[in-house]
Amino acid sequence: MALKYVSEYRDSQLAKVLIESIKEKIEALHSSGSIKAKKRLRLMEVCGTHTMSIFRHGIRSVLPHTIELLSGPGCPVCVTAQKDIDAFIELSKQDNVILTTFGDLMKVPGTFSSLQKEKADGRDIRVVYSVFDAVEIAAANQGVTCNCNQANSANKTNQAKEVVFCGVGFETTTPTVAASILMASERGIDNFSIHSAHKLTPPALAALMETPATQIDGFILPGHVSVITGVDGYKDVFDKYKVPSVIAGFEPLDILKAILMLVTQQISGLPALENGYERAVSQFGNVKAVQIMNQVFEPADSVWRGIGHIPESGMRLRDSYKSFDALKKFNLELKDTPEPVGCACGQILMGLKTPEQCMMYGKKCTPAHPVGPCMVSSEGSCAAYYRYKGL
């Protein structure tokens, strides 16, 4: 596979044009008195990948100071509830289990430990880049029984192992996890299971709008999620709250363009749901992926770290796929656990505080010694702020 770099979306001349247009429009907004008492335009990038890209390309440093970019609740690791982290840790301690996970989860502190520490203590915890790798590990560890045909089991080890996958992520990830379950089901791989802490994006946007203190003037909507949900995925939320919303890609020009579109909406006074990422996102999204996701999972109430309980914002396995539910398989229960005292991750994820306003930021909580999940994930706003010193 040849990979061509997307330099055209980082073109300095085009960037200049966009930055100048944003500056002109912001000045126009000021002179018309449209930016009210608070004097700042608060735009939230919902997705952690946007947060990273904004820092990585120094986008804040080229914008007018009156545009405030807030990092939203779109970093999957950051919003995973502590009780789910504890459940992953508990699963890794079960006999004969290989726990498979995306790398970002390794360092997230649970109540007493983290997957990284459990691994140092000898648990079999493996980082995978795709859930399908976890299925293959399961296939290779199905074990051989006395009655088994040896010839068909050449690549199987003698000792059967249970392979558990940590299901974390939004609409971008959940369909692939659903597909992995269908695949395991078809191939009769019954030593594979997941614990689902999957989340849905639109209910989180609604929760943000139901909290008036957030004062969000516009959403930069996540490009990856929108590839699956399409523009239509946000229609209900937009119709209800009428907040300017633009779907954006992840290259610097994509983000600058989305900001320009949001500023333009402010000037016109006509909030709209717009697609600024036409090269990837369609009106209806990936219908097949959504169908697979809904075949295996169903919406359920879910706890978001720091934010709390949001109705119908999670995805749980449907009854017909309950045999893939790791907690059921090992007879474990989710236990409610208190979150670390003093951690402001919740308020940060809702745009109510910046990382610097958390009393632990940079002191007790650093990337080397994280307290809250926003400091752990490379996409977490605290980690991004820390790494780039808020620039």
Binding site for another protein (CB under 8 A): 1-6, 10-12, 15-16, 19, 55-62, 107, 116-117, 120-121, 128-130, 133, 136, 252-253, 256, 366-370, 378, 386-389, 391
Shortest distance (Å) from residue 59 CB to another protein? 6
Least distance CB 61 / another protein (angstroms): 4
Closer to another protein by Cβ: residue 61 or 357: 61
For Cα atoms 47, 276, 210, give the angle at the middle one, nearest 5 degrees. 50
Least spacing, CB of residue 183 vs another protein, in Å: 16
Residue 74 or 314 with smaller CB distance to another protein: 74
**Of 47 and 237, CB closest to another protein:** 47
Nearest distance in Å: CB 358, another protein: 18
Of 238 and 250, nearer to another protein (C-beta) is 250
Least CB distance from residue 147 to another protein, whole Å? 30
Q: Which two tokens stand for residue 153?
A: 């089991």
CB nearer to another protein: pick between 16 and 240: 16
Minimum gap (Å) between residue 336 Cβ and another protein: 24
Closer CB to another protein, 237 or 253, in the complex? 253
CA 91 – CA 372 distance, rounded (Å):
21
Contact 237, 202 (CB under 8 A): yes
Q: In whole angstroms, how close is the CB of 353 to another protein at the nearest point?
A: 20
